[in-house]
Structure 1
Amino acid sequence: MNKYYICFLNYKHNSMEINFLALIAAAFSTLLVGFVWYHPKVFGTIWMKEAGMTEEKMKGTNMIMIFGMAVFYAFLIAMTLQFLTIHQWGAIGMVGGDISIAKPSYAAFMADYGTAFRTFKHGMLHGFIAGLFMALPVIGTNALFERKSWKYTLVNGGFWIVCFMLMGGIICAWI
């Protein structure tokens, strides 16, 4: 086994390992939210009007490529969200990522706090914070320069806040 571990905690080995299944599930969750969020009976009609999108523009596009890239981008977001939702990253960061050089206090800390705040609810809280203070401002800034409306900003920003919450919950709780 490689001595450098990243991502989800493996409590049996007291190390960090990537849980790709959780990250992939979190990434795909954005498609599920999008299918509901952008449905015409929810925010889809508002989004189309505010984005200047028409049915004609949507025809003839490569939807497999679009959805594939959307999942890829969501996976990149999921990779970042794990650092924001899992507090135990701080402990592994304090030893530089190499637990083989960690002092016994690291193992003691992880034994005491290795599962602290590892719930869906806690992940959703951090996802909400990340969505509100990262995703919304990025979308809002782009909307300002693209001369998009506040409705456009709220529809798309709200989508990403909800996605970050769901992704954060999945990532934080999936041990």
Structure 2
Amino acid sequence: MNINFLAILLAAASTLVVGFIWYNPKVFGTIWMKETGVTMNPDEKPNMVLIFGMSILYAFFIAFILQTVVIHQFGVLGLIGGDETKALPSYVAFMKDYGNEFRYFGHGVLHGFLAGLFMILPVIGTNALYEKRSWKYVLVVGGFWIVCFMIMGGIICAMK
């Protein structure tokens, strides 16, 4: 089973698009700034190339592993040890019959939602408890990542 790097890259880039919308002051940006204490000081010029570059790199890491969650065929590949050349004929027959099953956008969205809700939200929530952040913060940041995981999962799952 080949890794679709274009799908992973598009999924990673989608997080920037979602972020531009999600953190817009007219959406959740004002709430996020209030809850984090971030201010728009014109004297401070953040290194946006570094911020966006690292954001894409981290999102690429997420998308790379998310493919194993949203594409069931990766689980089958794992059962044979990851090397298709050493697989029994039953693997080849199975992949011929089921290699494209559940490979559509909505299915990826579902698994992205579940991964975001049950993996990312608890991480953000736990960190927020120790950082003494509000529930608004958890909902804004956690909600952002759940939506990102849904879109990323949809893109990865649909692009065969």
TM-score between both structures, scaled by the size of structure 2:
0.97
Residue by residue, what CA displacement relative to the aligned partner does 1:3-35 show, whole Å, maximum 9, x if unpaired?
Answer: xxxxxxxxxxxxx11211110100000000000
Residue by residue, what CA displacement relative to the aligned partner does 1:75-102 show, whole Å, maximum 9, x if unpaired?
Answer: 0000110000000012111111111221
Counterparts of 2:43 and 2:29 in 1: how far apart (Å)?
Answer: 13
With over 3 angstroms needed to count, the CA separation of the structure-2 counterparts of 1:116 and 1:154, relative to structure 1, is same
**How far apart are residue 121 of structure 1 and its match?**
0.2
**Partner of residue 144 from structure 1, selected from 129, 132, 140:** 129
Counterparts of 2:93 and 2:42 in 1: how far apart (Å)?
Answer: 58
Unmatched 5+ stretches in structure 2: none
Residue by residue, what CA displacement relative to the aligned partner does 1:92-117 show, whole Å, maximum 9, x if unpaired?
Answer: 11111111221111011001100000
Q: Which residue of 1 aligns with 2:87?
A: 102
Residue 115, structure 1, aligned to residue 77, structure 2: no
Unmatched 5+ stretches in structure 1: 1-15
Q: Aligned-residue CA RMSD in angstroms?
A: 1.1
Q: Which residue of 1 aligns with 2:55?
A: 70
Residue 35, structure 1, aligned to residue 57, structure 2: no
Structure in which a larger fraction of residues adopt helix:
2
1:1-175 counterparts in 2 under 5 A? Answer: 16-56=1-41, 59-175=44-160
Counterparts of 2:9 and 2:96 in 1: how far apart (Å)?
Answer: 28
Corresponding residue SS for 2:41: helix
With over 3 angstroms needed to count, the CA separation of the structure-2 counterparts of 1:58 and 1:68, relative to structure 1, is farther
Aligned residues: 160
Relative contact order, higher structure (CA 8 A, sep 6+): 2
**How far apart are residue 59 of structure 1 and its match?**
2.9
Counterparts of 2:157 and 2:125 in 1: how far apart (Å)?
Answer: 27
Counterparts of 1:57 and 1:94 in 2: how far apart (Å)?
Answer: 54
